[in-house]
Amino acid sequence: MKKHALASAVVFLLLGAAAYGALFVAPTEKTMGTIQRIFYLHVSSAWTGLTAFFICFIANLIYVWRREPRWDWLAVSAAEVGLVFTTVVLVTGPIWAHPVWGIWWTWDARLTSTFVLWLLYISYLLLRTLVEEPDRRALFSALFGVFAFLDVPLVFGSIRWWRTQHPQPVVMGGSGSGLEPTMWYVLLFSWGAMLSLMALLLRARYEFEAVRGETDLLQREAEGM
């Protein structure tokens, strides 16, 4: 418990430092001005969400191969945590877009593929509530989770392959892409803070799933009495 509180405090400090860096250390972007500071929260949340979905994908593959419940627990935990980060992306994006584009939302390839990703992982979590038998539930959701991950390369490639309202990539975007060095440091620090938050949330969510597994076992034992 003490270790958990300490980890939470460290993550809280890292997030505070990341916000300080975004608001006071990073230089003001020339075209968009102050509103561009949302970038550090928006992009780091997006990268962290995709990282969580990648963890979910790997855990799903390992579950299909080994059929051990702990991989199912990790997969569902990572899916839910990834969904929370993607929700932050879908909320902060329009707040940034409105003053810059004059609209809250547009159905371009990046925004649409991200929204579809969000819907796919909502479906993944809903699917789990429809199957009662734990082994079948784990297998069905693992297979669906592998399918859902197919949208991740689309999200990544959407601003590279198609012309979009969403800005072009700052990483692996070819010539003309990139960031001013201080912006880079602040972005990487923000991503590190978000990854530490992801680890904290993932650990807490995994613990919940393990406790739920124990509760299911005890319930079946009680029903069989």
Partner 1 sequence: MKNLNSVFAAYLAGWGIFFVYYISIARRTAALRDEIERLKNALNRGK
Out of 45, 113, 114, 141, the residue judged to bind partner 1 by CB under 8 A = 45
Q: Give residue for tokens 């079946």.
A: 220
Q: Give residue for tokens 């650990």.
A: 203
| 33 φ, ψ (degrees, to nearest 5) | 80, -145
Asked if 150 interacts with partner 1 (CB under 8 A), we say no
Residue 175 Cβ vs partner 1, minimum distance, rounded to whole Å = 30
Which residue in 189, 145, 150 sits closest to 41, CA to CA? 189
Binding mask 83-122 toward partner 1 (x if CB under 8 A, else -) reads -x--xx--xx--xx-xx-----------------------
Asked if 6 interacts with partner 1 (CB under 8 A), we say no
Residue 170 tokens read as 């700052």
Asked if 178 interacts with partner 1 (CB under 8 A), we say no
Asked if 215 interacts with partner 1 (CB under 8 A), we say yes
User: For residues 102 and 96, what is the distance between their CA atoms, to the nearest angstrom?
Assistant: 10
Asked if 208 interacts with partner 1 (CB under 8 A), we say yes
CA distance readout (Å), 90 to 9, 16, 97, 223:
27, 21, 11, 43
| 157 φ, ψ (degrees, to nearest 5) | -85, -15
What is the CA 201 to chain-centroid distance, rounded?
Answer: 11
Which residue in 149, 152, 130 sits closest to 60, CA to CA? 149
Q: Tell the burial category of 172 from Cβ atoms under 10 Å away from its Cβ (0-12, 13-18, 19+).
A: exposed
Output 177 or 182, the one with its CB closest to partner 1: 182
Output 8 or 177, the one with its CB closest to partner 1: 8
Out of 14, 21, 26, 38, the residue judged to bind partner 1 by CB under 8 A = 38
Output 183 or 201, the one with its CB closest to partner 1: 201
Output 87 or 160, the one with its CB closest to partner 1: 87
Asked if 42 interacts with partner 1 (CB under 8 A), we say yes
Binding site for partner 1 (CB under 8 A): 15, 19, 23, 33-35, 37-38, 41-42, 45, 84, 87-88, 91-92, 95-96, 98-99, 197, 200-201, 204-205, 207-208, 211-212, 214-215, 218-219, 221-222, 225
